[in-house]
Amino acid sequence: MLKKVDLSVKFCGVTFPNPFMLSSSPVSNSAEMIARAFDAGWGGVAYKTLVTDRIPITHPSPRMHGCNYDGKRLVGLQNVEQTTDRGLKPNLRDIAYLKKHYPKHIVMASIMGFSNREWADLAKAATDAGSDMLELNFSCPHMAVEGSGAKVGQANDLVRKFTETARNVTKLPLVAKLTPNVTDMNEPAMAAKAGGADGISAINTVAGLSEVNLDNFIPQPDVFGKGSISGYSGPAIKPIGLRFIAQLAKNKELGLPLSGIGGIETWVDALEYILLGATTVQVTTGVIHYGYGIVGEMIEGLSDYMAQRKIARVADLVGKAVKNVHETSDFNVRRQGIARYDLDRCVGCGQCYTVCRDAGGSALDWNAKKRRPALTEAKCLSCMVCSFVCPVERLITFKEMPKTWKRRKTVTLG
Ligand SMILES: Cc1cc2nc3c(=O)[nH]c(=O)nc-3n(C[C@H](O)[C@H](O)[C@H](O)COP(=O)(O)O)c2cc1C
């Protein structure tokens, strides 16, 4: 076990005290809030997206809706919030304040222009205010200003053009924040690189429509009788975020450092993003749910994991899982296995039997007297659905069968 681990990371040439960042959103809306977050342990912040004051942003009311599932609160969050609704000047003052009082913490100003000129003005203003780096928001899926947000992220030529515009007025590292509402994120990522981006952040919220009120038929959030397709975030989108980070990390031609976002609440979530190629990770919904304090457990959990495995630096973990992400056509289907049952620990609930009949290979018989399943190995599909519904942890596991073993293919009636 190592005595001390180093959580600091270098992202786009900038050194962060640790990889944990607030993502651009209401959790990073002012110096007062961010100062408390830094005190709690966050290493950096993507400051709430700045706009010029030319088109004032008035947010719909209410602007969020929390989605629960099966007794668990906030597995997803639906929001129609856009960029900052504070003025540009107070925001720039706040950035300057943060850099003066927290020089070792990293402030990445997020910006969004509504014209080429505005991209240049904002990049310059945020640079002059003392930001360490800039995040270009090409990804909000519900902007009310025509042709902005994810509309830019879905048009590779615009991604390149606005990145170039920012590149021309600042020497700061530029990170393009991309939208998951595309088929292949590598295309806008390559466009950002061509425009001069130094890194990629992914993902912004997923365009979704999470709930409809059954009494008045209005999708949530209900903005005085109207719903909308808008941004969905939180634990439910983690697989989508991991997918995009893995795809970007596998793209050798891209070769840019990545900041992973989407459904991160714990050190395990964060580490999965890191293993798939992210150097920093960013969080919003986890903070909305539990507050800034969650970073304490993230720091402790990651430190313990590294100490136990004698891993001295976070950099040694970045991308470690990428080589294990393959095309499904690469799988060795000559190797096969089945479900293995440890019946000494069985509680006799019968859920394995039901699921195997209704959704598996009908490979289980049920001894009603003893309340135990009996597996016909040759019929087992190794889908493992029985293990997902079994209430006893690791009672049902996977075992490989010898090469000579054959699965029975025909399913007959009667
Ligand atoms: C209420 C709300 C407002 C957000 N505002 C912004 C924003 O201004 N700029 C931006 O780049 N992303 C914005 N986001 C997206 C988040 O930064 C983040 O990419 C997304 O929520 C996924 O992360 P999460 O699952 O940790 O929330 C916002 C998200 C939420 C929920």
* Same domain as 371, residue 223: no
284 ligand 1 Cβ < 6 A: yes
Of 293, 324, 355, the residue at which a domain comes to its end is 324
Could you tell me which of 103, 114, 99 has the C-alpha nearest to residue 50?
Answer: 114
Confidence (pLDDT) at 414? 55
* Residue 413 reports pLDDT greater than 80: no
Domain range spanning residue 257?
9-324
Confidence (pLDDT) at 122? 98
β-pairing, 106-111 with 133-137? parallel
* Same domain as 346, residue 305: no
The C-alpha atoms of residue 51 and residue 231 are separated, in whole angstroms, by 19
Confidence (pLDDT) at 318? 98
For ligand 1, the distance from its centroid to the CA atom of residue 21, given in whole angstroms, is: 12
Q: How many domains does the chain have?
A: 2
Q: Is 356 a catalytic residue?
A: no
User: What residues pair up with 24 in beta bridges, in sequence order?
Assistant: none
Confidence (pLDDT) at 79? 98
In this prediction, residue 410 has a pLDDT band, given cuts at 50, 70 and 90, of: low
A 10 A CB-CB count for 71 gives 5
* Residue 412 reports pLDDT greater than 80: no
In this prediction, residue 409 has a pLDDT band, given cuts at 50, 70 and 90, of: confident
The per-residue pLDDT for range 269-307, each reduced to its tens digit, is: 999 999 999 999 999 999 999 999 999 999 999 999 999
* Same domain as 300, residue 347: no
The C-alpha atoms of residue 263 and residue 139 are separated, in whole angstroms, by 16
Per the structure block, which two tokens stand in for 102? 């927290």
* Same domain as 88, residue 71: yes
For ligand 1, the distance from its centroid to the CA atom of residue 196, given in whole angstroms, is: 24
* Same domain as 376, residue 311: no
* Same domain as 337, residue 249: no
Q: Exposed e or buried b for every residue in 273-302, given b needs 16+ CB within 10 A?
A: bbbbbbbbbbbbbbbbbeebebbeebbeeb
Across 11-40, average pLDDT: 98
In this prediction, residue 126 has a pLDDT band, given cuts at 50, 70 and 90, of: very high
* Residue 189 reports pLDDT greater than 80: yes
* Residue 162 reports pLDDT greater than 70: yes
81 ligand 1 Cβ < 6 A: yes
Residues making up the chain, counted from first to last = 414
C-beta separation of 129 from 95 below 8 A: yes
* Same domain as 216, residue 145: yes
Which CATH number is 120's domain given? 3.20.20.70
* Same domain as 377, residue 309: no
Residue 4 lies in a domain: no
Confidence (pLDDT) at 1? 81
The per-residue pLDDT for range 88-110, each reduced to its tens digit, is: 999 999 999 999 999 999 999 99
Q: Atom 21 in ligand 1: which residue has the minimum CA distance? A: 233
Could you tell me which of 63, 47, 59 has the C-alpha nearest to residue 95?
Answer: 47
Across 72-76, average pLDDT: 96
Burial class of residue 382, CB neighbours in 10 A (0-12, 13-18, 19+): middle
Which of 53-62, 235-244, 362-371 shows the lowest per-residue confidence on average (mean pLDDT)? 53-62
In this prediction, residue 53 has a pLDDT band, given cuts at 50, 70 and 90, of: very high
Confidence (pLDDT) at 411? 60
C-beta separation of 271 from 241 below 8 A: no
285 ligand 1 Cβ < 6 A: yes
Which CATH number is 350's domain given? 3.30.70.20
Of 324, 350, 383, the residue at which a domain comes to its end is 324
* Residue 341 reports pLDDT greater than 60: yes
pTM listed for this prediction = 0.97
Q: Indicate the top mutation candidate among 67, 88, 204, 210 to test ligand 1's pocket, ranked by most ligand atoms within 8 A of CB.
A: 204
